[in-house]
Amino acid sequence: MDPFWLVLLVIVTLVILYGIFIYNNLVRLKHNVSRAWSNIDVLLKQRHDELPKLVETCKQHMEYEQQTLERVMQARAAVSDAREKGNVKALGQAETQMRLGLGNLFAVAEAYPELRASESFQHLHNRISSLESGIADRREYYNDSVNHHNIRIEQFPDIIVAKRLGFSPATLLEFEEAELKDVNMKKLFG
């Protein structure tokens, strides 16, 4: 065999093997994003199931705070809808409202000693707080996975394989700035 053809065959084989290597890495990153999303989804479902119990417990003690309870349930519905549709951007916005609503609910609950003393409320408060911490941790892992995925599909030579095979960027789970603000206690009790 002519050395030219042998060298060409080796080069083509190496390019094909490198393309396969890139493809397999992109698939792994895509599945890491899906797995990270599934981890968040599990906690969102658990919190979704706990919120009606919390609202019902609060209703028994908080006669005049129906608006606060309604906001929590509306935010719960918005989170559920965005989660079911897989709309990460809408989920981030709904999560912001949910977290604000829960913060307000727990702040308002401070004015009701019987509610704070309720064993059911304490259990639900601790459970939801634990789920919130888990969601925050898993959100960090999800966003890290999304960043790795998005960087790889934009780097050369990975971009060639990614574009040809339809890999698209994933969306970060971001919360709005409102979540970072403190709860306005004067507004709640004024």
Q: Report the CATH architecture of 3-189.
A: Up-down Bundle (1.20)
pLDDT tens for each residue of 58-112? 877 766 577 788 888 888 899 889 888 888 888 888 888 888 888 888 888 887 8
Tens-place pLDDT, residues 11-54? 999 999 999 999 999 999 999 999 999 999 899 899 888 888 88
Structure confidence at residue 143 (pLDDT):
94
Per-residue CA distances from 125 to 24, 47, 114, 190 (Å): 44, 11, 14, 24
115 and 109 Cβ atoms separated by less than 8 Å:
yes
Residue at 85: amino acid letter: K
Domain boundaries, the chain: 3-189
Residue 154 predicted with pLDDT over 80: yes
Structure tokens at 135: 């969601």
Q: Is 174 helix (H, G, I), strand (E, B) or coil?
A: coil
Q: What is the model's pLDDT at position 63? A: 66
CA dist 144 and 45 (Å) reads 22
Cis peptide before 157 (omega within 30 of 0): yes
